[in-house]
Each structure stands twice: as structure tokens, then as C-alpha cells.
Copies of this chain bind each other. A is one copy, B any other.
Amino acid sequence: MLYFNNDYSEGCHPRVLEYLTRTNMEQTPGYGTDDHCAAAAQKIRALCGDDTLAVHFLVGGTQANLTVIDAALRPHQGVIGADCAHINCHETGAVEATGHKVLWLPSRDGKITAGQIRQYVHDHYASDSFEHTTQPKMVYLSNPTELGTLYSRSELASISQACRDTGLYLFVDGARLGYGLTAKENDLTLEDLARLCDVFYIGGTKVGALFGEAVVISNGELKRDFRYMIKQHGGMLAKGRLLGVQFEALMEDNLYFSIARRANELADQIRGCLEELKIPLLVPGVTNQIFPILPDAVLEKLSENFVFCEQERVDETHRAVRFCTSWATRKEAVDALCAKLRELCGTLSQSKSST
């Protein structure tokens, strides 16, 4: 079986493992106060072009989301996100478990707009009984989104401005940030993120690390006492240096970006094949996630050799599925997937063309 179901099927990139092995017997203080964490944080600050940033390393995405959101909000405040936001749909109510309502906005492509945010905040305060509803105080975006789409620099700048105008924090979940920053159409940089967001994170788990997310905080209010919050939510790793070491490896020699770029290129190859076969996509994409809409019969055949993810049923005979590439995806596996798609869908494509 060849796995295209996600970007966390393997362990870590060999270089990361090499760093972990090399430092294994070092003696360091615990809980993220070691030199490796300090060095990794400094590299990230340098890449973001801002020496005042607070950088903390957490083990996983849900943990990062719930810790950041709980640290930022007072009890009566909620966080705005897209309907399909990870915090709204895939974290077992982790944000609500910290007491905060997720306030969602409708979205077709996984993105929300500055206009939607402004309208939501306006409507909240325009109501006679605004104190009877959750006060919006933070915006949560994923970039890339759940559907693999990207925010442009100008879109993010507009959202950032909307947040500042309305007194909201802007938080970007970058669980797959590497794939976003290295996509062909991307015009965002780490410096932009550090400047436009109050807090964001650089995902390691899905981009070459064993685990780990680097939370980057620019807003002084959110920096305050953040380590207490990590500890309270069970996110403070005793051997915190494991996170520092991994991010040292990823941030060195551009590794994080080069492995993400390669995964995008393999995904581009699959996208090219799908286009050639006239297979429609659920949403257009440029990163390592692809959401083709395929006939059930084709998917059944395909599943004999390939593992992929179910996304949603589109009509009675078609489903959207997800193919994912990663730093670990082999070129041969992509070639095999494309060959199989051509074999199974070639006729389909021809018959479509002829009509």
C-alpha cells in the first residue's frame, strides 16, 4: 500500500533524527529552559525579523490552539473562525472545554474575510442585548486552511487591520505553514506573519518533525505569563530540549522550507495529472493537499493500492477525497499514483473530451 492519506504517517526527517541522536546524552535543564530551545527560538526570531518575539515550543496543534486561545481570552469572550476551522470541528470541543465559544463564519474555501469579521463585530455591538451574547475577541485562521487554500498578503493585511480596528487579536494556526510559505502562489513571509498577527505558530509535526509547534507571540499582552499557561494545560514537556533540537534542525539550512517545497512539487505533479484527466477539484489548491472529486467506482479500485482520506460525498456517485504529500513522499509513489489515475480515469477523460 502507498500512503497519501496524510502528512504524518512517518517519523521525522532523517536530519531531525540525527540531531536528536547526537544530543541524546547531553544534560540540560528541563521544561524548555535549555540552550537548544533558546537557540531555536533565536533562529525563528531572526527569520521573522523581530528580536522582541516570544517563542514557545508546544507538542501538538490542539494543545497549541487551546493554550493560546485560553491565554488570550477573558471568560465571556469567544474566538471567530471559519465553519470548517480545526478548532470548530476536529478538536473534541477543546476550546469550549476551556470555557470559550467558537464563533464561526460561513466559508466555501476554508477562508474568511476582513469584511465578514467587521460585520460580525459590528452586529455584536449593534444589538440591544449584546451582553447576552459571547463577545468576539480573537480571530483564528489556518494558513494553509483546512482545504489547502492560502491567504494572500493583502488578504491577511486586511484581516489584521480589521482586527486592530475592532480590538480583536489575530491568531494564525500554521500547522502546515511550511507548505503554505513555499507554495508557488504564496506571497506571505514569516516577517509578514510576525507583523500582522498577534500570535501564530510554525507547525513541525506535519513538516518533518516527530512533533512540535513553535508558537510565536508578538503582542505583549499575550506574552505575559504564557509559560504558566503551557504548564497548566499539560503542554510543558519535561525534556523540552526535544522541541528545541528539532526546530534547530528544521530551521538550519532552510530544511523546513526545502522539504515543504518538495512536497508541494510532488502535489503539483498529481494536480497536473488530475487536470490532464479533467478530474475536478473540490477547491483549487497549491499546497500539499489535493481534493479531487472522483467516481465511487474509481475510488474503490484506487483503494486497492493507495491509502487516502475521505473528505465528503459530492453526489450519488462521486466523492471528494484528500491526497497528501509530505517530506517523506517518494517520487516513485507519486508516479505510481498518477499512472493508476490515468489507467482508471483515462477513458472517463476521453469520453468527457469527446462530448
- Does A186 sit at the interface, judged by CB under 8 A? no
Interface bin, chain A: 35 or more
- Does A100 sit at the interface, judged by CB under 8 A? yes
- Work out how many copies of this chain go into the complex: 4
B27 touches A228 (CB 8 A): no
**CB of A120 to closest CB in B, whole Å:** 14
B12 touches A91 (CB 8 A): no
- Does A99 sit at the interface, judged by CB under 8 A? yes
- A8 contacts across to B, CB distance below 8 A: 30, 238-239
Which of A65-73, A145-153, A251-259, A283-291 lies at the interface with chain B? A65-73
- A1 contacts across to B, CB distance below 8 A: 27
- A89 contacts across to B, CB distance below 8 A: 133
- Does A184 sit at the interface, judged by CB under 8 A? no
Chain A, 218-261, contact with B by CB distance < 8 Å: what is the 0/1 string? Answer: 00000001011101111111110110000000000000000000
Residues of chain A from 289 to 316 with CB closer than 8 A to chain B in the complex: 310
Q: From A241, which residue of chain B is reached at the shortest CB distance?
A: B11
Of the residues B61, B102, B134, B234, contact of A67 by C-beta under 8 Å: B234
A239 touches B211 (CB 8 A): yes
- A99 contacts across to B, CB distance below 8 A: 93, 96-99
A59 touches B232 (CB 8 A): no
Which of A17-25, A46-54, A263-271, A274-282 lies at the interface with chain B? A17-25
Q: From A209, which residue of chain B is reached at the shortest CB distance?
A: B239
B9 touches A24 (CB 8 A): no
Q: From A58, which residue of chain B is reached at the shortest CB distance?
A: B234
A59 touches B101 (CB 8 A): no
Residues of chain A from 8 to 51 with CB closer than 8 A to chain B in the complex: 8-12, 14, 17, 20-21, 23-31
Q: From A25, which residue of chain B is reached at the shortest CB distance?
A: B10
- Does A349 sit at the interface, judged by CB under 8 A? no
Of the residues B28, B63, B237, contact of A234 by C-beta under 8 Å: B63
Residues of chain A from 60 to 87 with CB closer than 8 A to chain B in the complex: 60-67, 70-71, 74-76, 78
Contacts A24-B12, A75-B70, A232-B97; is A92 near B30 (CB within 8 Å)? no
What are 27 residue pairs bridging A and B, where the CB atoms are less than 8 Å apart in the complex?
A8-B239, A9-B28, A9-B30, A10-B25, A10-B26, A11-B23, A11-B242, A17-B20, A31-B132, A59-B59, A71-B75, A75-B97, A75-B229, A76-B225, A76-B228, A76-B229, A78-B93, A90-B132, A94-B233, A96-B100, A98-B99, A101-B102, A128-B310, A131-B225, A132-B236, A211-B238, A234-B235
Further 13 A-B residue pairs, CB within 8 A, beyond A94-B234, A97-B233: A3-B27, A9-B27, A10-B26, A17-B21, A59-B234, A62-B234, A62-B236, A76-B225, A76-B232, A91-B132, A94-B233, A128-B310, A233-B234
Residue numbers of A with Cβ under 8 A of B are 1, 3, 6, 8-12, 14, 17, 20-21, 23-31, 59-67, 70-71, 74-76, 78, 89-94, 96-102, 128-129, 131-135, 205-206, 210-211, 225, 227-229, 231-239, 241-242, 310, 328
